[in-house]
Structure 1
Amino acid sequence: MATNSDTIICKLGGIFTRFGMPEELMTDNGPQFAAEQLRCFAAKCDFRHITSSPNFPQSNGMAERAIKTAKWILKQDDPDLALLSYRSTPTEPTKESPARLLMGREIRTTLPVLKESLMLKWPDLETVKMNDAKAKQCYEKYYNRRYSTKTLPPLSVGDRVRIKTDEEKVWTTTATVQCQEATPRSFTLETGCGGTPRRNRRHIRLGDQELIFPLEMDISQPNDPNEQCGPVGQYSSATRRNMVVYLHP
Structure 2
Amino acid sequence: MVGCDLFDFQLSKYLLLVDYYSKYIDVVELSSTTTSSITNVMKQIFACHGIPLRIRSDNGPQFSSTRFNKFCQAYGIEHQTSSPHFQSSNGEAEPAIQRVKRLWSKAEDKYLTLLDYRTTPLEGIKLSQAQLLMGGRPRNTLPASTEILKPRIDAIVVKEHFNKKKAKQKVYYDLKRGVKELKPLEQGDSIHMNPLPGSKSWKSGTVVKHYGRPRSYVICSRGRLYRRNRRHLRETSEAANQQDTTTLDDGQLGVSDKQHESRREHRECIRGERRDSTNG
TM-score grouping bracket, smaller chain normalisation: 0.3 to 0.5
Q: Return the structure number with greater strand share.
A: 2
Structure 2 length as normaliser, TM-score? 0.41
TM-score normalised to structure 1 length: 0.45
